[in-house]
Structure 1
Amino acid sequence: METVNCEHVDERVQRILSLIDSKPDYLTCRQSAEILSKTIKEGSKLQQTVAETAKSATASVAIIFDLVQMLLNFSYAIELKLVDDLTERFEERLWLPFNGVLEYLDEVLQLLNPVKKPLVADGDLEAMSKLKELLECTYWRKGALHYMLCHTIYHQSQPFSDLSQKDRFVEHCAQGVVYLTTDMRKVRETDLSQEYDCNDTQLLELIKQGIFSDTHMLAVMYSAEMCYWLHLLGDSSKRSQFGGLDACTMAQQLANQYISIAEGPLRSANWNTSLAHTILESCQTSL
């Protein structure tokens, strides 16, 4: 397996373990505590492994993957508590854990997408598959977190008491859409461009549409909904992030994609399309 420069890996492990060991007061639910306990054990083993490879100043990609998984576990522990707190109303105190999760996920992306050279060689199929899995998971987590935040804010009474709150909402909606559409799709670019020797036309249609799991269906619907909120707010400032399209057109395209898949290849899975139809009809009327 490929090796990578290990100069900063030990430093990252130390910092992450220090964060975990501080046991933030925010993490009070039992499931979060269990995840933290497991992550501390994993971190201790990883720290020992890094120490053993320090002399050569290199570490295998597997160590980087282990470090990434530790970060994902730690951020998920915070996210679990955040989900509980976001069920009814968003409060200012939640910005700290929300931004904390995003910070850890950004660190994951930095580990998986080093600036100087690719982490994994093209010929290492097993490592490349794992890399794609971790990247896709991270983009999904970031996008879904933005959606969860925006969903709570949008549906609470008096969601925008001042302009700064509205501006912040718009920015998080736009970022969420990019993570769930552009970034997730980039991970699968090679899969989408391949030719498949298969007679199952429905399966081929799902691949063509970039639908490889339930997560990809949810990503399409979440993105459609966030674009719809931007449209209802009358915001048209995010064209550059949406490939030059306005929020209404983007919402319409995504809702139409979701409906065509849910009522086509995935018809037997009984995906709910009522909201998607509402979005589609509303956007068509306003054009």
Structure 2
Amino acid sequence: MEAKGLKRNCTGNLETRVQEETLPPTSYVTWDIFLIQASTSLEKLKILCKEDEENVNPSTLIKLYTQAILDMTYFEENKLVDEDFPEDTSLQKVKELIAILSEPEVVVKESSLHPKHSDMLGPELLECLYWRRGALLYMYCHTVTAREEGQSKKRDVLKKCLIDGISYLLKMFTFRCPLHLNEEVSFQDTDTAKLLSEGIFSDTHLLATMYTGEMCYWGLKYCVNEEPENCDIDTNGPGTSSTLLKESLEFREIGEKILRKYISICEGPLKGQAWNTTNAKKILNFFQHCHH
């Protein structure tokens, strides 16, 4: 597929998505700006796609397409949160949103214009796509585990969502290399250098470590003895580890490692910056005393 095919995929997919959305009711007016932004990106894409292929950078097209998807899905995600993830419909909606957030990488792969997704999308957009999928599954699992029935019903689905959510968040840390510290290089701000050496480039990266730790806790507490059954959700997408999906995730090992990192950062270079470690320490204590 050449640049022409990329144009067709971007505009066709996105126009369908935007047209499927309706004007939000008054309770969602806070979030309707994101649908407006998505629509604006679509119009920009249409204009660019009318130009000669030689004058259009494919990277510009896919980035506009990706930003529109991020805006549109953010609106939908906040609707789910505001509605407290309705039991009858939220699982299917989460599945749909995960699939939509996977589309930019699928389009890039099908275009065959670049051997790597990062060459066209760039690390920041890729991090955002993986963060949004992981955070969405985190919020869904948070709601499910808070409901009494969620602790005894459909644990196979919960486990699948936890494993996929953890996989997405861990993948988020792979698109940029941590800063390498050594004695030959001096830094004026040692705290910032320490953060960069740990792969923490933003607040979102740090929050992702805590989310991962919490999902490992839920997995160990509710799902570790459950055998996978036929799930009615399939969150498979680019970057999801097939190995992790086929085998039982080592919730304790991953959880302990990433929460120790979180605590070390919050009580080290970010000490005094209002990052709370109380819950992280409680989960670590659970890991150490749980006999699963």
Same-fold status (TM-score > 0.5): yes
Partner Cα distance (1:22, 1:36) in 2: 11
CA pair 234-78 structure 1, distance change in 2 beyond 3 A: closer
Alignment gaps of 5+ in structure 2: 229-240
Partner in structure 2 of residue 213 of structure 1: 202
Aligned to 1:203: 192
For residues 163-194 of structure 1, the C-alpha deviation after alignment (integer angstroms, 9 at most, x for no partner) is xx11110011111111111x1111113x4458
CA distance in 1, matches of 2:55, 2:62: 13
Corresponding position of 1:18: 16
1:120-135 mapped onto 2 (5 Å cutoff): 131-135=122-126
Instruction: Specify which of 261, 265, 282 is matched with residue 257 of structure 1.
Output: 261
Structure 1 residue 270 displacement after superposition:
2.0
Normalised by the length of structure 1, the TM-score is 0.82
SS for the counterpart of 1:7 is: helix
Identify which range, 96-105 or 30-39, moves more after superposition: 30-39
Matching of residue 98 in structure 1 with residue 102 in structure 2: no
Contact 1:140–1:219 (8 Å) recurs in 2: yes
Query: Which secondary structure state, in structure 1, belongs to the residue aligned with residue 272 of structure 2?
Result: helix
**Contact 1:225–1:279 (CA<8 Å) still a contact in 2?**
yes
Instruction: Return the letter of the residue paired with 1:53.
Output: D
Q: Secondary structure at the match of 2:112?
A: coil
Partner in structure 1 of residue 174 of structure 2 = 186
Tell me the CA shift for residue 98 of structure 1: 1.7
What is the rounded CA distance, in whole Å, between the counterparts of 1:229 and 1:93 in structure 2? Answer: 22
Consecutive unaligned residues in structure 1, runs of 5 or more? none
Q: How many pairs were matched up?
A: 271
Distance 1:231 1:11, change over 3 A: closer
Aligned CA distance change for structure 1 residues 258 and 99 (closer, same or farther; 3 Å): same
SS in 1 for 2:33: helix
Structure 1 counterpart of 2:41: 42
Identity over the aligned pairs, expressed in percent? Answer: 28
Let me know the Cα RMSD of the aligned residues. 3.1
Q: Aligned to 2:136, which of 120, 135, 145?
A: 145
Query: Following the alignment from structure 1 to structure 2, what is the Cα–Cα distance between the partners of residues 154 and 121?
Result: 34
Relative distance call for 1:271 and 1:84 in structure 2 (3 A) is same
Which amino acid counterpart does residue 155 of structure 2 have in structure 1?
A: K
CA distance in 2, matches of 1:92, 1:175: 21
2:51 alignment counterpart: 52
- 1:53, 1:71 → 2: CA distance? 25
Find the residue that maps to 2:207 and give its secondary structure: helix
Secondary structure of residue in 2 paired with 1:187: coil
Q: Which amino acid aligns with 1:154?
A: T
3-state SS of paired residue (1:211): coil
Is the contact between residue 72 and residue 104 of structure 1 (CA under 8 Å) also seen in structure 2? Answer: no
Q: Is the 8 A contact 1:50 1:59 kept in 2?
A: no
Bigger mean CA deviation after superposition, 145-154 or 249-258: 249-258
Under a length normalisation based on structure 2, what TM-score does the superposition of the two structures give?
A: 0.81
Q: SS of the counterpart of 2:161?
A: helix
State the Cα distance separating 1:265 from its structure 2 match.
1.0
- 2-structure distance, mates of 1:42, 1:117: 22
- Structure of higher RCO (CA pairs closer than 8 Å, 6+ residues apart): 2
